[in-house]
Structure 1
Amino acid sequence: MISTSETLGAEFTRPCRRAADFVLLMKPRIVMMVLLTTFAGFYLGVSGTPDYAVLLQVLTGTALAAGGTLALNQFLERDIDARMVRTRLRPLPAGRLQPTEALLFGLLILVTGLLYLAVSVNALSGVVAAVIVGSYLFLYTPLKRRTAFCTVVGAVPGALPPVIGWAAATGRLGIEAWVLFAIMFLWQLPHTLAIAMLYKDDYKRAGIHLLPVIDPDDKLTGCQIVCDSLVLLVVSLLPTLIGFAGPVYFAGALTLGIGLLGCGCAFILWRSTTDVRRLVFASLVYLPALLLLMVLDRVPF
């Protein structure tokens, strides 16, 4: 016999679990990375003391827009998630939320976030966010089922959050914003390919056409990672070369870039799971460390 306390406990925890599932729809870890890069773009674009009220507004709007986009992505890919071991327990494939709920929730917070950015911050930041939404949902998401080129396409929306921050701080898009975009764009390529190598069997089962899935011996993937890391190393030095960051950043970017490139070269030589995991870890350390260096060694303008 179920006790009254157990019944009350179940009634209390059910709404909490549903709320947690709606949060999971937004992929909070990815949203946090988006906010980190948006903050960096905003701080780097500010001349003088940052307006923290505007910073809070841009982070709020970006979080809502990003969360809504990622919730809609889970709605669109619920069939894929159901076939993958690492995603089959997400709220939609596990049946804890209905597709209609996810669709309405995603649309609500997405539209709220875009409008909030456009009205409370400025129109340009809202436009950049809208470009992210469109390219992520209507280009990258469907292309994942069709071509390995999806990685390059998906790197575009992934590289734009710091541009939102820059647009919010300055109201324009200068060369510095596009250098930030280029660094983010290039970083995503080795990072995404390394993750895809870890889960290539899962991706193959789900019918996702990433390069490691169609590259049986990983040679082409390894060469691609090394080439991307080499170009990233060069481009990451541009902030100092254009007078945007100082020599400390230059030295740090050079060190980080050589480290990431070295991990890519090690993978080509041995192609072991340990090397893949080391590459994933190096890419995860690289971006926040690089942005922190840039923020700390920014040249005032």
Structure 2
Amino acid sequence: MKSQLSTFWELTKPRIIWLVLVSTIIGFYLGAVESERSIFTDPWLLINTILGTAFVAGGASVLNHYLERDLDSQMKRTMKRPIPSGRIKPNTARRFGVFISGMGVIYLLSAVNTPTAIVAFATLFLYLIVYTPLKMKTTWNTLIGAIPGALPTLGGWLAASGNIESGGWILFGILFLWQIPHFFAIAWLYRHDYGRVGFKMLPVTDPSMRKTSAFSVLFCALLVLCTTLLHLNGIAGKVFMWGSLLLGVTFLALAIDASRGWTEVRARRLLRGSIIYLPLLLIILVIDQSLL
């Protein structure tokens, strides 16, 4: 029983859920600030937002496992996942994914608000129906996939404020831009696996890595500019501006370093930098708001 539960848990990709929730909390926090309310005014609203979003994110990951089960069985990185390894039947995973993602959308609709539920449903649709098939068709899939990847922060904003303002779109831009170097680093590290199954990731189809490097550096540079907009818009203070600037420049330096010659060490360094970027951004934001 315990091993079966751990298998279901593995299907939900907990690490991805964590990153999704961090971006959602950032959106919720700033949405509350813009609405001139404290997140502690209605703590259950935040809790319900986190729970509903976690269900949707987990369900999306489970259904992604199901849709890509045949491809996963051909890649060293993924062949030990629950479905390819035979630890769970495909239809069981499919039913589980549909159940928890559907429950998440309904939960957000009933316990949070309609706009947040709509964003959650749109995220599911774009991730599973649009992005997943495009990985086999075009190198632009990463840019397109970054749209559903950035939507959770809008969901968090809408949960707290009920409507999207300029700050919400700036946050969306931050999350959109952040994903490009993050996923390019992953794609380079697993380029042989991806190439074997036909994933058209740019690092797979760009042997010289010139385009990949240019995009990684460009999007990191744009990320630095985008985070400063939160200060220029009056949403965040100077602590956030300087903190996010330091964080962004460090991330940019890692991208520039990788572009000088992609190696496993440099790619992993860029990947780790991207993973710690969002939690640190949230910490800086909380510190900044506590000083205002």
User: What is the aligned partner in structure 1 of residue 281 from structure 2?
Assistant: 290
User: What is the aligned partner in structure 1 of residue 21 from structure 2?
Assistant: 35
8 Å contact kept, 1:162–1:180: yes
Which one-letter code corresponds to 1:44 in the other structure? L
User: What is the aligned partner in structure 2 of residue 45 from structure 1?
Assistant: 31
How many residues align? The count is 287
Residue 190, structure 1, aligned to residue 181, structure 2: yes
Which one-letter code corresponds to 1:240 in the other structure? H
User: What is the aligned partner in structure 1 of residue 4 from structure 2?
Assistant: 18
Deviations 1:98-157 (A, max 9, x none): 111011111111111101101111001100101101100011100011111110011011
- Structure-2 separation of matches of 1:134 and 1:300: 40
Counterpart among 198, 215, 228 of residue 207 in structure 1 = 198
Give the deviation of 1:272 after TM superposition.
2.4
8 Å contact kept, 2:12–2:58: yes
8 Å contact kept, 1:245–1:299: no
After TM superposition, the structure 1 = structure 2 runs for residues 57-68 of structure 1, keeping only pairs within 5 Å, are: 57-68=48-59
TM-score normalised by length of structure 1: 0.92
User: What is the aligned partner in structure 2 of residue 11 from structure 1?
Assistant: none
- Structure-2 separation of matches of 1:206 and 1:69: 21
- Structure-2 separation of matches of 1:298 and 1:243: 12
8 Å contact kept, 1:44–1:298: no
Which one-letter code corresponds to 1:40 in the other structure? I
Bigger radius of gyration = 1
User: What is the aligned partner in structure 1 of residue 225 from structure 2?
Assistant: 234
Residue 104, structure 1, aligned to residue 90, structure 2: no
Give the deviation of 1:81 after TM superposition.
0.8
Residue 171, structure 1, aligned to residue 157, structure 2: no
- Structure-1 separation of matches of 2:291 and 2:119: 25
Which one-letter code corresponds to 2:160 in the other structure? A
Name structure 2 gaps, 5 residues minimum: none
TM-score normalised by length of structure 2: 0.95
Runs of 4+ in 1 over 4 A off after TM superposition: none
Name structure 1 gaps, 5 residues minimum: 1-14
- Look up the SS of the partner of 1:83 in the other structure: coil
User: What is the aligned partner in structure 2 of residue 9 from structure 1?
Assistant: none
Aligned CA RMSD, in angstroms, stands at 1.4
Residue 120, structure 1, aligned to residue 111, structure 2: yes
Give the deviation of 1:263 after TM superposition.
1.3
